[in-house]
């Protein structure tokens, strides 16, 4: 592991250069590593690159088009990524039963797949010979199968690209590491120790045909309806109107995609409708419960009390964020190797789960290495969420369910899901209570942003002393939402609340606001202490104080230490930081900056590929899928700036810096820094062999994608 390299000390010229770069949100890369194009065209009289001119020059040389959705490509464009895999699916392949066990109970015509093992063996030998020349230096030239090496068996048999390494031609059979012919019993033993949460075809069929019952969900809603009816009758007897949770309506539209009426908003969706009353009157008076005293900020919850009221699973842990597309099982395993403590699945759409969609059900899979594993659910209907929770609690291994109330995508908002749930607090509250009821003791967490709508806080509008005074935070953050629904979420029974310090409107722009996270954490402690003082008891005879998990812009160990020590959070969640540098977990645990070399980074990429081949398979389709997700990973990791080429005293990059074109310390480091997807494809070819001439990859996030 490399340490910080010896860098050139700052002279006045370099000091001015660093200052100018920081002022213009430009990465202060050492001038000797800047591209000659920049050095010659983008310098002022002092020889210092002008960031604005630099950006204009880059815009001229970058042929990528502007996208309608900030930072992303259209789904229709990205569908080209699947064309290559579809072509592979159409290729002739040996019947899986013949390939694995050497026999098939069906005849060739009924099976529909080739049973000619002799002809297939001939093709395998020809392919093995051609790979030596066509894919020199790649993993495809090795003779051993990664699955066979690590597990002593390959479940793909001869269809594996390395199938000859575990096929005994003397007995014409796929064998295990002991030389025994592979049997269904061997395969069952392998799958039991391989990956968990595989949903079999019978369950998938049951979901598709709507033949699976959800008795716990039905029982919950029966009691839920009785409770509402009882409340209405009690109100009638007392001649009162039923109370309704208020949702503050600010200047910015908060309820995207929902129908507005004069006094309410209803979600037009299958299942029970949710009525939300909108308070159109401006809220000028700050409620007392949202104010903080110095005692609230200094005392918090005692260590003894915290042992009793908070779950240890979320205390001082490094949590890998749920990352759509890129947060797949191989990437999670990679982060575990570098020190991540808790992993969470990619976002799982509840409607797709309940319709039995195989690709969505595959997102539930976990590795045995994932000791603390959560599944994140997204949905806008309480019935759908609770049914999904009941299903996976019956058929999956996991430690907690996380409700996604933070996703900024409008496609989810139109369905009442994602970050809009903080404006549908009654629905969110019922989701939590329902999940707690149907999952028999499993933990429930919620991930939110500061607010669904509302403009982010511009700290420059406030005097520094005014902003840093926590007594002013209720006024400063009055148009944010999470702190206003904190009490409702705590009462619903959540075990942890993850707060991303941005609004949905911001997506991932500007800096995350950790002062707001600190404000919410202090309020959380205040609410708990007040309940203890009032001797309020829960059904479990003790109160749960939700753990507060902070999220946003953690890129080095100092960020982590700052937030843990000063911002009152129990743990942190890391997303983009892990995509840029999966070794961030090692840096945090060892409290150091790691000036990682290009060869070490390339070894990490090869580790990811090996983990991908284990997960997606070592046949042609598995290799194609591994390549696809490797390219998605590289579309993020290329943004990492090596510490050793940053000017002193800068020891790490910033998410909000623009990065000028630069050379690495060697050719490999330069290649790994390329933002051109053709270079990412080249990196994949160094590991997985050549791609066809018509191969195309469109990254999920904006980059130069010509090839």
- Could you give the C-alpha distances from 264 to 244, 245, 258, 326, 607, in angstroms and in order? 11, 11, 10, 38, 53
- Could you give the C-alpha distances from 119 to 97, 122, 125, 126, 131, in angstroms and in order? 16, 5, 10, 11, 19
Residue at token pair 């090839």: 707
- State the CB neighbour count (10 A cutoff) for residue 300: 18
Tokens representing 422 are: 């903080």
Contact 202, 208 (CB under 8 A): no
Q: How many CA atoms lie within 13 A of 626 on its CB side?
A: 29
Query: Is cis: bond before 44, omega within 30 of 0?
Result: no
Residue at token pair 């500007």: 510
With both helix axes pointing from N to C terminus, report the angle between 382-395 and 425-438 in degrees, rounded to the nearest 10.
Answer: 20
Dist. CA 322–CA 573, nearest whole Å: 9
| DSSP secondary structure letters along 573-590 | EESHHHHH-TTHHHHHHH
**Chain-centre distance of CA 483, in angstroms?**
24
Contact 147, 154 (CB under 8 A): yes
- Could you give the C-alpha distances from 150 to 190, 604, 613, in angstroms and in order? 11, 18, 12
Dist. CA 468–CA 220, nearest whole Å: 45
| DSSP secondary structure letters along 603-645 | HHHHHHHHHHHHHH-SSHHHHHHHHHHHHHHHHHHTT---GGG
Helices and strands: H and E segment counts in the chain: 31, 15
Report which of 578, 83, 544 is spatially closest to residue 323, judged by C-alpha positions. 578
Report which of 91, 100, 95 is spatially closest to residue 113, judged by C-alpha positions. 95
Tokens representing 350 are: 């509840």
- The three-point CA angle 463-469-473 to 5° equals 95
Report which of 666, 673, 661 is spatially closest to residue 38, judged by C-alpha positions. 661
Residue 260, SS3 per DSSP = strand
Torsion angle of alpha carbons 685, 691, 693, 697, nearest 10°?
-90
What are the contacts of 181-187 at 24+ separation with CB within 8 A?
Answer: 181/101, 181/102, 182/100, 182/101, 182/153, 182/157, 183/101, 184/101, 186/153, 187/100, 187/153, 187/155
Residue at token pair 């899986």: 96
235 is catalytic: no
Contact 365, 195 (CB under 8 A): yes
Alpha helices in 373-500 (DSSP H): 382-395, 410-413, 425-438, 464-468, 473-476, 482-492
674: phi then psi, degrees, rounded to nearest 5: -70, 140
Q: How many CA atoms lie within 13 A of 143 on its CB side?
A: 6
Dist. CA 572–CA 338, nearest whole Å: 16
- Could you give the C-alpha distances from 402 to 11, 24, 344, 423, 634, in angstroms and in order? 51, 38, 8, 18, 27
User: Which one from 309, 407, 520, 545 is the annotated catalytic residue?
Assistant: 407
- The three-point CA angle 55-56-61 to 5° equals 95
The residues annotated with a catalytic role in the active site are 407
């Amino acid at each position: 592991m490399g340490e910080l390299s010896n860098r050139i000390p700052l002279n006045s010229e370099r000091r001015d250069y660093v200052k100018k770069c920081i002022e213009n949100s430009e990465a202060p890369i050492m001038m000797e590593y800047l591209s000659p194009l920049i050095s010659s065209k983008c310098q002022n009289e002092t020889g210092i690159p002008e960031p604005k001119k630099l950006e204009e020059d880059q815009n001229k040389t970058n042929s990528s088009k502007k996208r309608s959705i900030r930072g992303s490509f259209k789904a229709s464009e990205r569908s080209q990524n699947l064309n290559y895999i579809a072509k592979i699916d159409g290729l002739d392949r040996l019947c899986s039963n013949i390939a694995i066990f050497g026999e098939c109970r069906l005849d060739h015509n009924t099976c529909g797949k080739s049973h000619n093992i002799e002809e297939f063996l001939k093709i395998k030998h020809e392919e093995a010979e051609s790979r030596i020349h066509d894919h020199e230096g790649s993993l495809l030239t090795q003779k051993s199968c990664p699955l066979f090496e690590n597990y002593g068996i390959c479940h793909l048999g001869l269809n594996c690209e390395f199938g000859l390494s575990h096929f005994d031609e003397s007995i014409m059979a796929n064998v295990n590491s002991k030389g025994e012919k592979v049997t269904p019993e061997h395969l069952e033993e392998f799958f039991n120790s391989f990956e968990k949460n595989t949903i079999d075809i019978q369950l998938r069929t049951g979901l598709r045909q709507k033949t699976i019952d959800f008795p716990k969900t039905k029982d919950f809603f029966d009691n839920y309806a009785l409770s509402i009816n009882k409340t209405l009758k009690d109100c009638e007897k007392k001649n009162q109107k039923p109370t309704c949770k208020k949702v503050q309506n600010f200047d910015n539209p908060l309820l995207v995609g929902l129908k507005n009426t004069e006094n309410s908003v209803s979600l037009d969706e299958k299942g029970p409708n949710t009525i939300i009353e909108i308070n159109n009157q401006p809220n000028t008076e700050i409620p007392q419960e949202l104010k903080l005293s110095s005692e609230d900020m200094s005392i918090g919850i005692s260590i003894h009390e915290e042992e009793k009221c908070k779950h240890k699973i979320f205390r001082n842990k490094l949590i890998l964020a749920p990352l759509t597309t890129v947060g797949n099982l191989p990437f999670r395993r990679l982060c575990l190797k570098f020190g991540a403590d808790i992993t969470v699945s990619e976002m799982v759409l509840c409607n797709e789960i309940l319709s039995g969609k195989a690709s969505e059900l595959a997102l539930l899979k976990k590795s045995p290495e994932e000791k603390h594993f959560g599944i994140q659910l997204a949905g806008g209907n309480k019935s759908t969420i609770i049914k999904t929770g009941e299903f996976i609690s019956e058929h999956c291994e996991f430690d907690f369910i996380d409700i996604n109330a933070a996703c900024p995508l409008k496609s989810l908002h139109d369905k009442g899901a994602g970050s809009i749930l903080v404006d549908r607090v009654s629905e969110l509250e019922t989701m939590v209570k329902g999940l707690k009821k149907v999952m028999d003791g499993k933990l429930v967490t919620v991930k939110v942003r500061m607010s669904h709508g509302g403009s982010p806080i511009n700290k420059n509008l406030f005097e520094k002393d005014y902003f840093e005074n926590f007594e002013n935070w209720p006024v400063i953050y009055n148009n944010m939402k999470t702190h206003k629904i904190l009490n409702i979420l705590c009462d619903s029974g959540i075990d942890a609340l993850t707060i991303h310090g941005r609004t949905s409107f911001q997506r991932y722009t500007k800096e995350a606001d950790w002062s707001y996270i600190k404000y919410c954490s202090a309020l959380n402690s205040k609410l708990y202490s007040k309940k203890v003082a009032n001797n309020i008891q829960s059904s479990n005879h003790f109160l749960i104080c939700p753990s507060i998990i902070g999220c946003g812009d953690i890129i080095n160990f100092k960020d982590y230490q700052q937030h843990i020590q000063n911002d009152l959070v129990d743990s942190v969640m890391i997303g983009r930081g892990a995509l840029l540098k999966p070794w961030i977990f090692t840096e945090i645990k060892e409290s150091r900056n790691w000036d990682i070399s290009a060869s070490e980074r390339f070894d990490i990429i090869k580790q990811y590929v090996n983990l991908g081949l284990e997960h997606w398979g070592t046949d042609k389709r598995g290799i194609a899928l591994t390549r696809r997700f490797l390219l998605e990973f590289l579309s993020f990791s290329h943004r990492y700036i090596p510490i050793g080429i940053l000017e002193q005293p800068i020891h790490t990059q910033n998410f909000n810096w623009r990065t000028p074109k630069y050379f690495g310390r060697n050719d490999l480091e330069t290649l790994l820094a390329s933002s051109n997807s053709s270079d990412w494809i080249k990196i994949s070819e160094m590991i997985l062999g050549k791609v066809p001439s018509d191969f195309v990859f469109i990254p999920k996030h904006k980059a130069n994608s010509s090839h």
